[in-house]
Amino acid sequence: RACDQLRCTACDFRVSLFNDYIWDQSCDYLFFRNNMPDFSKLRAKMIKKKGARAYACQCSWRSIDELTDLQTEQQLRWVCGKH
Protein backbone atom coordinates (compact mmCIF):
# COMPACT_ATOMS: atom_id res chain seq x y z
CA ARG A 1 0.00 0.00 0.00
CA ALA A 2 1.40 3.38 -0.97
CA CYS A 3 1.55 6.26 1.47
CA ASP A 4 0.67 9.60 -0.10
CA GLN A 5 1.91 11.63 2.88
CA LEU A 6 5.60 10.73 3.12
CA ARG A 7 7.87 13.01 5.13
CA CYS A 8 11.66 13.02 5.22
CA THR A 9 13.18 12.87 8.71
CA ALA A 10 16.54 14.12 7.36
CA CYS A 11 15.42 17.45 5.85
CA ASP A 12 11.97 17.56 7.53
CA PHE A 13 10.33 18.18 4.17
CA ARG A 14 7.21 16.60 2.74
CA VAL A 15 7.98 14.13 -0.06
CA SER A 16 6.34 15.20 -3.31
CA LEU A 17 5.21 12.63 -5.84
CA PHE A 18 4.58 13.00 -9.54
CA ASN A 19 2.66 10.34 -11.44
CA ASP A 20 3.86 9.28 -14.90
CA TYR A 21 7.30 10.90 -14.51
CA ILE A 22 10.85 9.81 -13.69
CA TRP A 23 13.83 11.99 -12.78
CA ASP A 24 16.53 12.71 -15.33
CA GLN A 25 19.87 11.14 -14.40
CA SER A 26 21.47 14.61 -14.22
CA CYS A 27 19.48 15.45 -11.05
CA ASP A 28 21.57 16.27 -8.01
CA TYR A 29 21.19 17.42 -4.42
CA LEU A 30 21.42 21.14 -5.21
CA PHE A 31 18.74 20.87 -7.90
CA PHE A 32 16.21 19.59 -5.35
CA ARG A 33 17.44 21.85 -2.55
CA ASN A 34 16.89 24.91 -4.75
CA ASN A 35 13.69 23.91 -6.56
CA MET A 36 11.48 21.86 -4.21
CA PRO A 37 8.48 21.91 -4.24
CA ASP A 38 8.01 24.18 -7.29
CA PHE A 39 6.68 21.88 -10.04
CA SER A 40 7.38 24.42 -12.80
CA LYS A 41 11.09 24.39 -11.88
CA LEU A 42 11.27 20.64 -11.19
CA ARG A 43 9.72 19.84 -14.56
CA ALA A 44 13.00 20.82 -16.26
CA LYS A 45 14.50 17.49 -15.13
CA MET A 46 11.42 15.27 -15.37
CA ILE A 47 10.86 12.70 -18.11
CA LYS A 48 7.38 11.43 -18.99
CA LYS A 49 7.05 7.67 -18.35
CA LYS A 50 3.59 6.16 -18.13
CA GLY A 51 3.06 4.07 -15.02
CA ALA A 52 6.13 5.44 -13.23
CA ARG A 53 6.27 7.82 -10.28
CA ALA A 54 8.92 10.37 -9.31
CA TYR A 55 9.41 11.07 -5.58
CA ALA A 56 11.53 13.81 -4.01
CA CYS A 57 12.12 15.81 -0.87
CA GLN A 58 14.86 18.44 -0.52
CA CYS A 59 17.65 15.91 0.05
CA SER A 60 16.65 12.64 -1.69
CA TRP A 61 14.84 11.51 -4.82
CA ARG A 62 13.73 8.28 -6.46
CA SER A 63 12.11 7.19 -9.70
CA ILE A 64 9.90 4.14 -9.24
CA ASP A 65 8.39 2.07 -12.03
CA GLU A 66 7.56 -1.10 -10.09
CA LEU A 67 6.29 -1.94 -6.62
CA THR A 68 9.11 -1.07 -4.21
CA ASP A 69 9.49 -1.40 -0.45
CA LEU A 70 11.03 1.91 0.61
CA GLN A 71 12.00 0.40 3.98
CA THR A 72 14.72 -1.60 2.19
CA GLU A 73 16.28 1.66 0.93
CA GLN A 74 18.61 2.30 3.86
CA GLN A 75 19.72 5.77 2.71
CA LEU A 76 16.16 7.10 2.51
CA ARG A 77 14.74 8.69 5.64
CA TRP A 78 11.11 8.74 4.49
CA VAL A 79 8.32 7.85 6.87
CA CYS A 80 4.56 7.83 6.40
CA GLY A 81 3.05 10.97 7.88
CA LYS A 82 -0.32 9.29 8.48
CA HIS A 83 0.84 7.58 11.67
pLDDT digits (tens, 9 = 90+) for 34-81: 999 999 999 999 999 999 999 999 999 999 888 777 667 777 888 887
Report the sign of the C-alpha dihedral through residues 49, 52, 57, 58, in that order.
Answer: negative
Nearest 5°: phi and psi at 32?
A: -70, -40
- The tally of domains found in the chain comes to 1
Is residue 77 included in any domain, yes or no? no
Q: Residue 77 corresponds to which amino acid?
A: R
Domain that holds residue 14: 6-64
**70 occurs within a structural domain:** no
Q: What is the pTM of this model?
A: 0.85
Is 27 among the domain residues? yes
In a domain, 73, yes or no: no
Report the alpha-carbon distance of residue 49 to residue 23 in Å, rounded: 10
Q: Give the Cα separation of 22 and 79 in Å (integer).
A: 21
| ∠ Cα 6 13 5 (to 5°) | 20
Tell me: pLDDT of 1 over 60: no
